[in-house]
Structure 1
Amino acid sequence: MSVSVIRRIASPKKALTGIAVAAATAGMALSAAPAHAATAPSASQAQAIAHKMIPNAAQYQAFSNIVKHESGWNVSATNASSGAYGLVQALPGSKMASAGSDWKSNARTQIKWGLDYMNSRYGSPVAAWNFWQANGWY
């Protein structure tokens, strides 16, 4: 290969500009995709996250019981009549933004918010589950 060919390959401003434009275009296309296009975590993935965040078996089981009843472990579950949203059916769902801006789709964020809610309102997930059993809501 001649030196002029190597120079053209190694440092062409035109090629770099083309790559930058292509990357920017791809980034713009990705950011323009609707939020619901991202794959929500499966129920088993959300449960695995919760298990890591709640190592105590009794507290995890109580949390899990509530989430099973409230959303079936569906991160994007929405109550058509009340508008409650997410794994723990926060009302309004936007309350969960205090745990993270990705509250609409991130199981970890929703679990964190739900745990904080259960601990602050009831003292623990077990106490929240006891209340849920007595009242059918928490």
Structure 2
Amino acid sequence: MSVTYGDVMKADPSMLNKSAGVWKDWADAVLVHAGYLKEQVGQHIEKQHWDGPPAVLARGKVDGTHAGLLNSAERLRSVEGALISAGKAFDEAKNTLVGLTSEAQSHGLQVDAETGHLSYTAPAVGTVVMDTYGKKALTQADVTNLVNAAQGYINDLQPRIDAAVEKAGRADTDLSQTLAGLAPPRRSDSDQPTGDPGPYGVGGSGGLGPSASGDTSTHSASAGEAQAYAKSLMAQYGWSESDWESLVKLWNQESGWNANAVNPSSGAAGIPQALGHGHVFDLGDYKAQIQWGLNYIRDRYGSPNAAWAHEVSHNWY
């Protein structure tokens, strides 16, 4: 849907700048996580002088994840830039429209509140008006002159109004395209995590797995322990048995309930695949991750059923 005159007039450009700040914080969080992974390599591999295939494999996984995180941070920063540009464009367009609207109204023109279309309602012949000489009844010639003058104002102002709206529309399109570029691709069966990903394993990317109906199985003993803990907390949130089934599906989809899962392309980590402000950095700490994840679901969606529905529909939650 294209941007309209009404959209621009009702817009609050400052909100776009505030959103840009949030995306900057998100990018910063990803960069912090990238640094964390590099630090872990130094502590657990290089300082220990580990050698052989396992160490090479671990380094390769972390290097790939680190590169993916840097790429993700760059893409998040691109959204920040697009939001700032959109905020500037909407601010300029709105200021322009406010001025042009005032000018149009001063000439007796009507401005449609949604489309910005200019029009003029001519007075009837015989209408009594005041001029410099006192009261006067308008003649047909007077009305014709008023209509011609109004049309001249419309011919001047309407293109300028339309141009301001189009400027905001282009900024909105650019922002939408930038955001669309962040959408995670759907995973095929071959993309699914297999076995135990280990301390730097690949977690879920938000894509759907082999079946859109969801996987309710328990993937490992550690996953079973995490699920038992999560289920013990469900009553605190007032959630139902169907919510529990949705939660199992959701986090099977995202990470297989693996507390050590890390997505190399986005930096999402842990059982809930957390990313952004409030990120859970303690890999392996399934209790902290689950508490964070349940609070996130409650605050954003209200329930696991709603979060799972969003996952199925949008490929992320």
Question: Does residue 126 of structure 1 match 2:310?
Answer: no
Question: Does residue 45 of structure 1 match 2:225?
Answer: yes
RMSD between aligned alpha carbons? 2.2
Instruction: Give the greater-gyration-radius structure (CA).
Output: 2
2:262 to 58, 61, 78: 78
Shift of 1:104: 2.3
Runs of 4+ off more than 4 Å:
none
Shift of 1:112: 0.8
Residues 118 and 94 of structure 1: is their aligned pair in 2 closer, same or farther, counting only changes over 3 Å?
Answer: closer
Correspondence for 1:105? 284
Shift of 1:92: 4.0
Shift of 1:80: 1.0
**1:83 maps to amino acid:** G
Preserved CA contact (<8 Å) 2:270 2:280? no
Shift of 1:117: 0.4
**How many residues in Structure 1 have an aligned counterpart in Structure 2?**
96
51-60 vs 75-84, which deviates more? 51-60
Preserved CA contact (<8 Å) 1:83 1:92? no
Cα shift readout 1:47-84 (whole Å, capped 9, x = no counterpart): 11111112431121111111000001100100011110
**2:290 maps to amino acid:** I
**1:68 maps to amino acid:** N
Shift of 1:114: 0.5
**1:137 maps to amino acid:** W
CA distance in 1, matches of 2:276, 2:223: 22
Q: How does 1:1-138 map to 2 (within 5 A)?
A: 42-55=222-235, 56-92=240-276, 95-96=279-280, 103-138=282-317
TM-score, normalised on structure 2? 0.28
Shift of 1:105: 2.0
Preserved CA contact (<8 Å) 1:43 1:73? yes
**1:85 maps to amino acid:** A
